[in-house]
Amino acid sequence: MKTVYLDAASDESIEAAAHIIRSGGLVGMPTETVYGLAANALDGKAVRKIFEAKGRPQDNPLIVHISKLEQILKLVAHFPEPAKKLAEAYWPGPLTMVLEKSELIPDEVSTGLPTVGIRFPSHPVAQALITAAGVPIAAPSANRSGFPSTTTAEHVMRDMDGKIDAVLDGGACGVGVESTIVTLASNPPRLLRPGGITLDQLQLVLGRVDVDPAVLNPLPKGARPLSPGMKYKHYSPKADVIILDGGEKAYADYVNTHAKPGVAALCYDGEDRLLNVPAVCYGAESDQAAQARELFEALRHLDDIGAKTVYARCPAPRGVGLAVYNRLMRAAGFEVCSLE
């Protein structure tokens, strides 16, 4: 299959992409978090193609994207008061709510779960595509399963060229890590994946919100997490990533004493000057939004420069940093070395 490149700036491109969705095909779609691999959420056959293109395990459910709030009413069994309040506060935006699903959701989307994740993205191109397609859109991140998520159309092409019908180029993603996922099917509500909407922001609206243990810890062998995606190794570059937990000086000393061919660093802006190995920066220490925006691109760049072992500076697990920490922990297979 030839993957068509479409520039999202033109209306014809949006219409062409919408036509592909309506015809049961796959489109790489920009959102404010990461690029998504979009298909008609109500067409089980189209959704199955997503799993093939990504090499995605069959038991990992998909998020359904809407472009008008009222679309949710047909997709879920109930739209409870707390969910309404969250929608009012943070939609459209980088937040996915897990709710009891309606009959309309095909099994291919929910992979046997009684629930469905719904998201109303804020990206104007995503909204335009969903509206033009006239159907809700199922979309996982548009990367090969297990690899870092894609934040540019070029990255989507690198992973998906020849496997999907088209990619709609809407520029680089602003948030850079996937949406926050909260389940309202548990009581109290539970954070399943941290993202651009922070735990504090959820608690402001919902009161008590528990944090699923899988957010910060490796799963015990054989455990069944509430969010099936949590059990897979994720976001991994080809290199071995090791997180070094310590201040700037301890980090630089450790990296420099372990310098050898194949070793590279993933550090904060400006710290590359202190290091004797090839280094890729991912935002300033004080700017967690920049760290989120730059992380996946940085992980891909480390592969491009042929890194075999990557020593990563440890993100602070607060605010948006919790999402950065969660992704980097998974990229590292939870391998953390404390320098204190």
Binding residues (CB under 6 A) for ligand TXA: these are 31, 33-34, 36, 60-63, 96, 98, 110, 113, 115-117, 119, 139-141, 178-179, 181, 192, 226-229
Pairing state of beta strands 210-211 and 190-193? parallel
CA distance 237 to 133: 34
Site for Mg ion, residues 307 to 336, rule: CB under 5 A: none
Q: Would you say 132 or 250 has its CB closer to ligand TXA?
A: 132
Nearest in space to 118 (alpha carbons), one of 97, 135, 89, 104: 97
CB of 281 to ligand TXA, least distance (A): 24
C-beta of 60: minimal distance to Mg ion in Å?
9
Per partner kind, with CB cut-offs from 5 to 8 A, the member of ligand TXA, Mg ion, none near residue 115 is ligand TXA
Main-chain dihedrals φ then ψ at residue 138, nearest 5 degrees? -85, 130
Whole-angstrom distance, CA of residue 169 vs CA of residue 7: 5
User: Residue 187 CB, nearest distance to ligand TXA (Å)?
Assistant: 15
- Taking CB atoms, the residue at the shortest distance from Mg ion is 141
Element of type H or E holding 99:
strand 95-100
Nearer to ligand TXA, 227 or 288 (CB): 227
* Contact between 141 and Mg ion per CB under 5 A: yes
Separation CA 136–CA 120 (nearest Å):
10
Closest residue to ligand TXA, based on beta-carbon distance:
229
d(CA 208, CA 54): 36
Q: How far is the CB of 60 from ligand TXA (least distance, A)?
A: 5
Min dist. Cβ of residue 98 to ligand TXA (A): 4
Residue with smaller CB distance to ligand TXA, 144 or 258 = 144
- Cβ proximity to ligand TXA: between 231 and 313 the closer is 231
Q: Near Mg ion by CB under 5 A, which window of 141-149, 196-204, 308-316, 324-332? A: 141-149
By C-beta, is 32 or 271 nearer to ligand TXA? 32
Distance CA 112, CA 236 (A): 27
Residue from 263, 264, 325 nearest 291 by CA: 325
Cis preceding-peptide flag for 114 (omega within 30 of 0): no
Give least dist CB 329 to Mg ion, A: 15
* Best CA proximity match to 185, nearest among 95, 116, 89, 91: 116
Could you say which of Mg ion, ligand TXA, none residue 106 binds, taking C-beta under 5 to 8 angstroms by partner kind? none
181 binds, among Mg ion, ligand TXA, none (CB under 5 to 8 A by kind): ligand TXA
Cβ at position 141, least distance to ligand TXA in Å: 4
CB of 93 to ligand TXA, least distance (A): 10
118 by Cβ neighbours in 10 Å (0-12 / 13-18 / 19+) ranks as buried
The SS3 of residue 210 is strand
Residue 113 contacts which entry, ligand TXA, Mg ion, none (Cβ below 5-8 A, type-dependent): ligand TXA
Binding-site residue total for Mg ion (CB under 5 A)? 1
Report the distance separating Cα 75 and Cα 103, nearest Å.
Answer: 8
Alpha-carbon distance of 319 to 84, in angstroms, equals 23
Alpha helices in 97-247 (DSSP H): 107-110, 124-133, 153-160, 199-206
CB nearer to ligand TXA: pick between 58 and 338: 58
Residue 96 or 236 with smaller CB distance to ligand TXA: 96
Q: Tell me whether residue 60 or residue 71 sits nearer to ligand TXA (CB atom).
A: 60
Q: Which residues bind Mg ion (CB under 5 A)?
A: 141
